[in-house]
Structure 1
Amino acid sequence: MLLAETGAPAWSWNLLADVQEMWSYPFMVNAFRAGAVVAVVSAVVGWFVVLRRQTFAAHTVSVVAFPGAAGALLLGVSAVYGYFTLCVAAALVLAALRADGDHEGSALAGTVQAFLLASGFLFTALFRGLLEGPQTILFGTFLGITSAQVTLLTVVGALVLAMLAVIGRPLLFASVDPAVAAGRGVPVRALSVGSLVLLGAATAEASQITGTLLVFALMVIPAATAQVLTARPALSLALAVLLAFAATWLGLTAAYYSPYPLGFFVTTIAFAGYLLALGRRSLREVLGRRGTAPAAVREVTA
């Protein structure tokens, strides 16, 4: 195995051998398995988050994941339990406050964010067993993902996707036109609460890969990119899953061959895809205007 100057493995000219070597380590196999689950769940949940304009809620829940994980470690239990407990609790609080549409609720949620973020740093300072301080929790890592964690992520991810499959159609209706949906008897309020709880569970999953600060990017950027590329719901949702999957697996590969945080690579790759999508849309708009200009001129001069 070649080593770079930083001590991390280095690419060789035999890319197939490099990939085989990377996947020969059980911790990397677990990382790719967990990454696949997280990517799919984050993309599907994030697609509804972007459609419903609940990015503030997604940001709040991702911030809350940090003190949840740090507090769990301080109590001597796995960070996984802290992720899920506080993320789901925060989602329920947001549902009660209606933070996305109420000014007072938004202000209160922002205040709680600041307090919990400071509490997370206090917990990491008190827990001296976390050798890298808050970096691992904040920016993610692929090290230490166990088979038990992969199993837990898979079970939770399957439950989240199953719930979305049940409420997906009415949730889509309520997201596009909530007034009409409510008029036709769709339980808009209950669907809003349910979607926020699923957001909390998905955030708790993704935080273990990307870190609590950057989970927001994996949750939102692939979905936003897909919705820029196409307005067709089914195709857009499939594209979001594909983009999140690609960003996660490419990020894991890049992180393995470098000493830098995993979350940075996942976010950078996803953001690059978003910029390309915006560039493609702008180019099509420019070409479309040029194509219609002669016809418009002929119509005026006729």
Structure 2
Amino acid sequence: MTDLWSQLFSFQDFGELLVLVRNSVVAGAVLGLVGGLIGPFVITRNMPFAVHGISELSFAGAAAALLLGVNVVSGSLVGSLLAALLIGLLGTRARERNSIIAVLMPFGLGLGILFLALYRGRSANKFGLLTGQIVSVDNPQLGWLVAISAVVIVTLIVIWRPLTFASVDPDVAAAAGVPVRTLGIVFMLVLGLSVAVSVQIIGALLVLSLLVTPAAAALRLTVNPRLVPVLSVTFAVVSVVGGILLALGGGLPISPYVTTISFTIWLVCRLVGWRRTTAAGKPRRGPRVPLAPTGVRDSTGV
């Protein structure tokens, strides 16, 4: 047991090792900001499944780039944007969207596995695409990540209010003249970019812990439309940066640490929300959508 514990949490020469992952810590903080901002919309629009579907094609694109010897970030971006466009254009209804995602997921995963099987390079590169890496973010990759993240954040700020309206009640938003379909496609592209950059750190299989879990935890604590993104960003940054630092000490893949921290935060928030509701003497209900603009009510009464 002692040996296992020391393997999971060993911090010998931690200061020297920390210098090696400085770029990854910065990247993790940036990804936490992106994931925390976009996560509430993912939940409101009922798209956690879409995140997983996009990540599979992002993985396939990254694996193809690895096989061809080109920039892995570029391959990941191509795969993510292709999946996002297909889902956005063809999946206008939830039932159609889920069917399309269910078709894309095994196809993307199968392609990725094929490309990795053909790749004769370091096995660590193969494993890192699935579970994340903490020492693989060099200066060019960090530049790419920051630039793409900036595009995502700026786009979200520009479309925040109409996207909020369209996410809460698309029918009323369309009747009010909001370009719901166009906003949906733009959001899918932004989501595709977010998934592509997240795969580089957290890995393709566990990207949900960054883009969904922090927002789900925040919604267990509050329905305040201003406070939810703040809490979501905080939880995401703590999960990723904390996971990187713990993984550095253990010398193990980052993903188990990030997902464990993220799940623990969600579990604590769920318990706090349950206790608060119980203490108030109200029956437990699911999390209400907190994103409706002032004066607008969705079908759940928010």
User: After TM superposition, is the score higher than 0.5?
Assistant: yes
Structure 1 runs not aligned, ≥5 long: 291-302
Using the TM superposition, give the Cα deviation of residue 111 of structure 1 relative to its aligned residue in structure 2, in angstroms. 2.1
Match 2:182 to one of 184, 187, 190: 190
1:238 aligns with 2:233: no
**Are 1:62 and 1:216, in contact at CA under 8 Å, matched by a contact in 2?**
no
**Aligned twin of 2:11:** 11
Question: Where in structure 1 do 4 or more consecutive aligned residues deviate above 4 Å?
Answer: 3-9
What letter corresponds to residue 66 of structure 2 in structure 1?
L
Using the aligned pairs only, state the percent identity.
35
Alignment partner for residue 151 of structure 2, among 140, 153, 159?
159
Amino acid at match of 1:90: A
- Which structure 2 residues correspond to residues 41-52 of structure 1 after superposition, within 5 A? 41-52=34-45
Separation (CA, whole Å) in 1 of partners of 2:213 and 2:92: 21
The one of 165, 170, 179 equivalent to 2:162 is 170
Max Rg structure: 1
CA distance in 1, matches of 2:7, 2:49: 39
* CA-CA distance at 1:7 after TM superposition: 7.7
Q: CA deviation at 1:134?
A: 3.2
Structure 1, residues 9-58: CA drift from partner, whole Å, max 9, x if none? 8336xxxx95x4443x2x31111111111111111112211121111211
Q: Distance in 2 between matches of 1:7 and 1:112?
A: 38
1:133-170 CA deviation, whole Å, 9 max, x = no partner? 63211000111210111111111111111111110000
Per-residue CA distance 1:142-199 (angstroms, 9 max, x = gap): 1121011111111111111111111000000111111111111111111111110000
The count of aligned residue pairs is 280
Q: Give the Cα separation in 1 of the matches to 2:242 and 2:127.
A: 21
Helix, strand or coil at the partner of 1:102: helix
The aligned residue for residue 93 of structure 1 is: 86
Match of 1:30 among 11, 23, 26: 23
1: CA distance between counterparts of 2:253 and 2:225?
33
Note if contact 1:174-1:188 (Cα within 8 Å) is conserved in structure 2. Answer: yes
Q: Does the residue aligned with 1:233 lie in a helix, a strand or coil?
A: coil
Give per-residue Cα distances to partners, 1:198-250, cap 9 Å, x unaligned.
00000001111100111122110001111111101111001100110011111
TM-score (norm 1): 0.87
Cα distance change on mapping 1:6 and 1:116 into 2, 3 Å = same
Could you tell me how far 1:99 is from its partner in structure 2?
Answer: 6.3
Matching of residue 261 in structure 1 with residue 261 in structure 2: no
For 2:5 and 2:258, the matched residues in 1 are separated by 23
Does structure 2 retain, via aligned residues, the 8 Å contact 1:124–1:130? Answer: no
Measure, in 2, the Cα distance between the counterparts of 1:288 and 1:127.
58
Q: For residues 231 and 261 of structure 2, what CA distance do their matches in structure 1 show? A: 15
